[in-house]
Amino acid sequence: MKKLREECGVFGVSLTADEAVGIVYNGLLSLQHRGQEGAGIATIKDNHIKCHKDVGLVTEIFPQKLPNMMKSKVAIGHATYSHEDVAMRDNTGPFVREYLTGRIVVSHNGFIRNSEEIKERLKALGVYFKSTSDGEVVAASIGYHVSNEKDLIKGIVKACNEFIGAFSLIVACGDGRIVAVRDAVGFRPLCVGKSKNGVAVASESCALDATGFEILDDVLPGEVVLIENAKIVSREKLINTINVADRMHGLCAFEYVYFARPDSFVDGLSVNQARFEMGKALAKSAPVEADFVVGIPDSGLEAAIGYSQGSGISLATGFIKNRYVGRSFIYPTQEQREGIVKVKLNPLKNIITGKRVVLVDDSIVRGTTISHIIKCVRQAGAKEVHVRVSSPPFIYRCDYGTKIGDEKSLIARNLTAQQINKKIGADSLGFLSVDDLKEVCKGNTKQLCMACFAGYGEDKK
């Protein structure tokens, strides 16, 4: 019953010893929240690239395979969120491509708006495709340009300057070099870390922490980082294309609201601290009299702590989360998918019965999940149910951060806050304002894109 589907997670290492596979596996475990539909690991040694990938979770795919995978100093991995309705092995990263003088493998987090146009152009040149993923288009385009330019960095830069959209990339070639690239706007996060054993690149710093790397810095928007023989060789700002002109402003704000893990730092700002401050600001702007504040697991928990401290209302654990339930999209009927919320989140009746409860969640997208949770809380005996949302109303579609197929499905696009409150069955409803979200995230060292909340260009009508 996820309200939004997370973005992909990418991870790669260049080490002094042949320990890359195990470290990349652990890195992907730490990034599993960013993609649960498939995963892959590619190992690189002596101009050979071997890639194992499949649909499912990291723990379902690799444990029995790891001992037999090629030992190497260089490897990259990918935890996949698919833009398609059905997960497919061929749509899972990383993507290996051959060209005239070698092979490359690419892990891509983002969305390329003009991927079909690039794909058709490459097809006309004889390039083949096995998937419907824009990640394969990214890999094929880079391979094509590297071959033409006869230079890894020049080829990557030329390909990336053709992409319109969001991309944080890890590119590895057969000779063991790794290149980390972030688009010129910086929609998706990417960071680099270092240890005594080498260098790592990851979507989030939590993966660096888990694998023993100290974060050095975020990859800057438009920056290309070359890593070779376990060292950072160069860092240059080479990607110049500003995607979709001046309509976008930087990192997707939903990284702080929902996507990133709370123990990560993204562009210099603690995700945990940002969510705490969101809740604190919400307590000031949308106060209510209640007995308990309850965070909806997992991404509403930090904001609930902030709301509790900001309001002086006691914080309580109101739900037990079943962490062993499968992904809800595997259930064949809508009735079963809606009912799974009762299995995933079970209200604690001894806490809730007869009490006025403030439920804190990170966002409301379509309104279906929160409606079911409110219903469950009322059935558990709550006297009143007040909902507080630690982000602004989600009004506009955005292909670059929060991929929403149909803008009409966004409940705040069609209804006022008062109408939403009535529809979801709450006693009151409050959202964080855009200005408060900007203030909370001012510690971010880059600009933020809030297009899904505030709109931009011709979409803001």
What is the spatial distance between Cα 70 and Cα 371, in angstroms, rounded to a whole number? 49
What is the spatial distance between Cα 410 and Cα 224, in angstroms, rounded to a whole number? 36
Domains and CATH numbers, the chain: 9-243 (3.60.20.10), 270-459 (3.40.50.2020)
Q: Is 211 helix (H, G, I), strand (E, B) or coil?
A: coil
- At residue 323, the pLDDT reads 75
Contact status, residue 45 vs residue 70, Cβ threshold 8 Å: yes
- What's the number of CA atoms in the CB half-sphere (13 Å) around residue 313? 28
- At residue 329, the pLDDT reads 42
What is the spatial distance between Cα 90 and Cα 328, in angstroms, rounded to a whole number? 22
Q: What pTM did the predictor assign?
A: 0.91
Contact status, residue 423 vs residue 411, Cβ threshold 8 Å: yes
In terms of Cβ atoms closer than 10 Å to its own Cβ (0-12, 13-18, 19+), residue 168 is buried
Give me the tens of pLDDT residue by residue for the chain, a chain 461 residues long. Answer: 445 555 699 999 999 999 999 999 999 999 999 998 999 999 999 999 999 999 999 999 999 889 899 999 999 999 998 655 445 889 999 999 988 778 999 999 999 989 999 999 999 999 999 999 999 999 999 999 999 999 999 999 999 999 998 999 999 999 999 999 999 989 999 999 999 999 999 999 999 999 999 999 999 999 999 999 999 999 998 877 654 444 556 899 999 999 999 999 999 999 999 999 999 999 999 999 999 999 999 889 999 999 999 999 999 999 998 877 654 444 445 565 556 666 788 999 999 999 999 999 999 999 988 999 999 999 999 999 999 999 999 998 877 767 676 788 899 999 999 999 999 999 999 999 999 999 999 988 888 888 889 876 434 43
CB count, 10 Å around CB of 95?
A: 29
What is the spatial distance between Cα 179 and Cα 167, in angstroms, rounded to a whole number? 13
The single-letter code of the amino acid at 281 is A
Q: Show the tokens assigned to 221.
A: 């928007």
If you count them, how many residues does the chain have?
461
Q: Which of 185, 252, 166 is nearest to 441 (CA)?
A: 252
- At residue 190, the pLDDT reads 98
Which one is catalytic: 8, 173, 191, 252?
Answer: 8
Contact status, residue 217 vs residue 272, Cβ threshold 8 Å: no
8 is catalytic: yes
- At residue 249, the pLDDT reads 66
- At residue 455, the pLDDT reads 78
What is the spatial distance between Cα 102 and Cα 54, in angstroms, rounded to a whole number? 24
Residues near 255 by beta carbon (within 8 Å), at least 6 away in sequence = 188, 189, 266, 271, 401
What is the spatial distance between Cα 267 and Cα 285, in angstroms, rounded to a whole number? 27
The single-letter code of the amino acid at 73 is K
What is the spatial distance between Cα 186 and Cα 191, in angstroms, rounded to a whole number? 11
* Beta-bridge partner residues of 223: 237
What is the spatial distance between Cα 438 and Cα 307, in angstroms, rounded to a whole number? 17
In terms of Cβ atoms closer than 10 Å to its own Cβ (0-12, 13-18, 19+), residue 96 is buried
- At residue 328, the pLDDT reads 44
Q: Show the tokens assigned to 328.
A: 């809800």
Alpha helices for 330-400 (secondary structure H): 334-344, 349-352, 368-379
Strand-by-strand arrangement of the 223-228 sheet: 95-99, 102-112, 165-173, 178-182, 223-228, 231-237
- At residue 330, the pLDDT reads 43
